[in-house]
Amino acid sequence: MPKPFTPKVLTANALLEGDVIYRTAAAGWTRDLSQAEILTDEADAELQLIEASAEVATVVGAYLADVKVADGKAQPAHFREAFRAKGPSNYAHGKQEQF
């Protein structure tokens, strides 16, 4: 029996900067996970993944990531996504300056 579909966000890396980005409900991209569209329909999520993968001039490595939902906002469900959301770890800059 297949696993039930759990909430996900569409994520990738910005082609030019390399930053982690997330798809918004307006079909744009944001660097803030809390602004990402939470996908709850498997067919819609797969369609959005196909569309994002075709944006070869903008993004690279698009995939669907599991999230937890708290107060209507996406939060990482796994360590990998929490790590990616914080940005580069080799020195404090960008998002890392907040921590």
More confident residue, 29 or 98: 29
Q: Stretch 3-17: mean pLDDT, rounded?
A: 94
pLDDT confidence of residue 91? 58
pLDDT confidence of residue 83? 83
User: pTM for this structure?
Assistant: 0.84
Distance CA 7, CA 66 (A): 6
Distance CA 28, CA 24 (A): 5
pLDDT confidence of residue 96? 56
Q: Are 7 and 67 in contact (CB under 8 A)?
A: yes
Distance CA 50, CA 32 (A): 22
Task: Give the residue extent of every domain in the chain.
Answer: 8-89
Using one digit for the tens of pLDDT, what is the confidence trace for 31-82?
A: 999 999 999 999 999 999 999 999 999 999 999 999 999 999 999 999 889 8
Closest CA to 10 of 69, 92, 47: 47
Using one digit for the tens of pLDDT, what is the confidence trace for 81-92?
A: 988 888 765 555
Name the amino acid, one letter, at 96. Answer: Q
